[in-house]
Structure 1
Amino acid sequence: MKKVFEVTKSLLHCSFQGERRIGFRKFGIPPSGPMDMLAYEKACILAGVRIGEPLIEIIGGNFSLNILEDCEIAVTGADLNHQLDGEKFPLWKTIRVYKGQTITFGNPVNGMIAYLALVGGYQTNWYLGSPSTYTKGKLGKILTKGTMIEQKSSMNTDYKLWYAKTLVNSQRSLCPSVIPTYMPEIEVRYWPSYHSLNFSEEQLQTFQNQQYTFKTGNRTGYLFDGNPIYLEDGHDIPSEATEFGTIQLPPNGKPIILMSDAQTIGGYVTLGKIDPADLWKIAQLKPGGKVSFHEQQI
C-alpha cells in the first residue's frame, strides 16, 4: 500500500462511501452508501474499479488534498469549483495527476455532491461487509485534515489486463448524453404509501401541485418548506420501517425526505417513497432548490 493523498482541508462531510451495508437494519444500522448512485457508478467506471468499492464522497465542497504520488483520478457529480493547482480540470473524465500537486474543491457551482475515484482503488477498512462510513454507528470516520489516504497495493489479473489496454497513453471520458445536469428546480416521481388513504383528495392535490423548497439537510434527511398539510388525527404513528427515499410528514406538515444514512424505523406518517431512479436528483439539490412530486400509479 502507498499513501497517495493527504487531506489538507475538510470543513463539511467528506467520507468513503461504496457498497451498501446489507442485513443489519434489524439492529438499527442503515445501509448507508452513496447519496448519488448515478455519479458514484460513473466514477467507478471511469476509474476501472468494481462498483461497490469505496470512493471519496465530497458533500458541499471546502475540501482539499495534497498529491503524494503520481496517479490517475476521475471526479464526477457536482461542480464544486474543483481545481488542480489553481486551474479548473474536467469532470467526468480520467486524468493523470502528479506528486506535489494540489486538488481543491470550493463552494458548489451546481449540485452538492462529488465523487473522487482513484484508478487502482482505495485501501480502506470494511465494517460489517461495507466500506461505507456511518458515523452515528462509529463505522468509519469522516475524512479530516491530516488524514492519509492509501491506494491498494496490487491489482488482480483481470484489472491489470484492462489497465494495460485502456489506460496507457489515453484518457477516458463519458459521452455527453449520459452526463446528468443538476438543476435548481426538479421533478421527481414517488410511489404512494398506504398512509395516503388518511389524506383527503384536496390534501394530496396540495402536495402534488406545489413546489417545495429545500431548506437544509444531511446524509440522514432533507427538510423542505412549503404549504403545510395537517392531519386531524395527528402525524405520529407506531414506528415502522423506513428507507432511503421515504417521504415523512412530521407535525409541522412539511415533508422530510430520508437519505442514505436515514434511521431504519420512523414514527411519522408517510406520503410515499421517491422512485430510486430519481434519488440522485434529490441528493444533488442545493439549499433553496425546488422540487415537485408526481405520483406513480401502482
Structure 2
Amino acid sequence: MTFRLGTRGSPLALTQAGMVRDALCAAHGWATERVALVVIRTTGDRVQDRALAEIGGKALWTKELDRALLANEVDACVHSMKDVETVRPDGIAIAAMLPRADVRDRLIGAASIEALLPGAIVGTSSPRRRAQLLRRRPDLRIVLFRGNVDTRLAKLAAGEADATLLAAAGLDRLGRGDIGVPIALDAMLPAPAQGAVGIEVRADDAAARRTIAAIDDATTSTCVLAERGLLAALHADCHSPVAALARLGDDGLTLAAELLDEDGTAHVVGQVTGANDPGADLAADLLTRAPVAVRRLFGA
C-alpha cells in the first residue's frame, strides 16, 4: 500500500517532502515507490502580491492541505513549521519533526545589516524581520516581498530592493548555502519554529501516527513545541512581530524571545530556563514588562 504525503508544490516544499519520504523509507525499509508525494496548491502559493496578514494569515499555507488530510486524500502532510498556525483544526495532530536545520536568517544583498547604505530598500513580508531591521536601522525602507525562494531572489536581481532576508535552512536545503551571509542569533532571533519540518496526520489514524513517529527527532519536537506554546500564550497572529528560540542544555530547556511593535521602536526580550510550562511563563513575563505599543499586538 502506498503512503501518501501531501505537500505544497514549491521547490523547497518538494525538497522537504522528499526528505520526509527518504526518512520514512530508511526507518521502515521501504522502497522509494512506497511513498507518493501528492502536490496540493495552496492559496498562499496563488496570491503573491499581498501580505499574509491582510488575506487570512498562515492558514493560507495549510487549509487546502488540511482539507485533503481530513478527506483521507493523503495520509500525512509535510509543513515548514514556522508557517503552521498555532491553533490547528480538530482532528489533526503533529506526529513528528525532522532534525532542525540552521535557524538563522540570511541577508542577501549586503555583507551585514550595518553595511546597508543609508535609506536602503529591504524586501520582506515578515512583520518580525521588518521590526527587527528597523530597530537596528530605522533609516531603512521596507517593501513587500512574497513568493518562493526563486521568486524573491529574482525580485532582488531585478532591482526591486537592495537586499532581502531568507531562512538559512531553506537555502541550505535547496543547495544554496553559499547565498548571503548568516545573521548572528544575538542580532536577530528567528521566527518560532524556523528551520523545522513537521508532519501532521489525522488524530484518529493510529497507523499513520506510528508510521510517522518513527522519524521524529525528539529534541526538535521539544523545542518547537515550546516555541509554539509561547505563541499560543501570547495570542500572537500574523500581525505580531515575535521571535523565539528554544534550546536544550544541561539545565534543561531554555526559551528566549523578543516581542516588538511594528517599526521596532519598542521591544522587550526575556528568557526562561527549566520551567514546567516555558511558553506560558515567558509570555507572562514579557507581557508584564512590555511597553503598551507592544502589548496591544499580543492580545494583552
Quick check: TM above 0.5? Answer: no
TM-score if structure 1 supplies the norm length?
Answer: 0.30
The structure in which a higher percent of residues are strand is 1
TM-score if structure 2 supplies the norm length?
Answer: 0.30
The structure in which a higher percent of residues are helix is 2
Greater Rg over alpha carbons, structure = 1
